[in-house]
Amino acid sequence: MLLRAAAASASSLSFFNPNAEPPRSVIVRGKNASGLVVCAAKGSTNHRALTGVIFEPFEEVKKELDLVPSVPQASLARQKYVDESEAAVNEQINVEYNVSYVYHGMFAYFDRDNVALRGLAKFFKESSEEEREHAEKLMEYQNKRGGKVKLQSIVMPLSEFDHADKGDALYAMELALSLEKLTNEKLLNLHGVRQVATKNGDVQLADFVETEYLGEQVEAIKRISEYVAQLRRVGKGYGDFQVFCKVELNYGYE
């Protein structure tokens, strides 16, 4: 709050001077039309009343009050959140949903009775749910910052993942690895919005991406890379079954 004194002499303000000896007591005489009436009672030779002392909001607060929207369509929570950041978050939401959709298609494929790789089906189902959770977390963040979530179209994924040379398991894992790298690239682009956001005083978006996504994305890339390497070494057919057994131990049905 801003303390302002009106119509007061320099001597009457002496007890506000940090270098001056403070009075032993201060009496507040209540309020009048001009504000609080304050005077020094003891330990001071000046007994003149200090009139016109009022409290006002900081000028900075007044500026922020002017920025509070009055129309119901505008967000009240939005502050230092630029349009480019809002658009980038919406784009990442779309990326996460598309990847989730592809993984759900992989789950359906490996869950067929004539494919019957239940471990891989479980793995891709959980991967799909995880990507959806990422999208929902971004949606919550968008709302928290005062942006508007704008959902976009989702591309229809493949329904067949068999490959003449690689086999279905290796082909699906290589595709999954490519999707995880694509997601990581998009996250790095989202994190790069920090350069724009920082100019507007917003570094929270970069911290959110670093804390919630980047580390987890690197771990996912490493895990799927190992599955790809194993499938390439053992070959398709029985090799698929060997790797499937290992995945089944980690992701099999209970």
Task: Count Cα neighbours of 199 within 13 Å in the Cβ-side half-sphere.
Answer: 8
Residue 253 has pLDDT above 60, yes or no: no
List pLDDT tens digits, range 219-248. Answer: 999 999 999 998 888 877 655 555 555 555
The reply to whether 134 sits in an annotated binding site is: yes
Residue 46 has pLDDT above 80, yes or no: no
Helix (H) or strand (E) holding 29: strand 25-32
pTM for this one?
Answer: 0.69
How far apart CA 41 and CA 45 sit, in angstroms, is 9
The reply to whether 226 sits in an annotated binding site is: no
The reply to whether 140 sits in an annotated binding site is: no
Print burial letters for 146-170: b (CB count within 10 Å at least 16), e (below 16).
bbeeeeeeeeebeeebeeeebbbbb
The reply to whether 212 sits in an annotated binding site is: no
Crossing angle (nearest 10°) for helices 118-144 and 168-192: 10
What does the longest C-alpha to C-alpha distance in the chain come to? 102
Domains and CATH numbers, the chain: 83-248 (1.20.1260.10)
Helix (H, G, I), strand (E, B) or coil at 14: helix
Per-chain mean pLDDT for the chain:
77
List pLDDT tens digits, range 136-155. Answer: 999 999 999 999 999 999 99
Provide the pLDDT for residue 16: 45
- Would you say the C-alpha torsion 135, 144, 189, 222 has a positive or negative sign? negative
List pLDDT tens digits, range 7-38. Answer: 444 444 444 445 555 544 444 444 545 555 44
The reply to whether 219 sits in an annotated binding site is: no
Strand 2-4 and strand 35-42: the pairing is unpaired
List pLDDT tens digits, range 119-135. Answer: 889 999 999 999 999 99
Which residues, in sequence order, are bridge partners of residue 35? 32
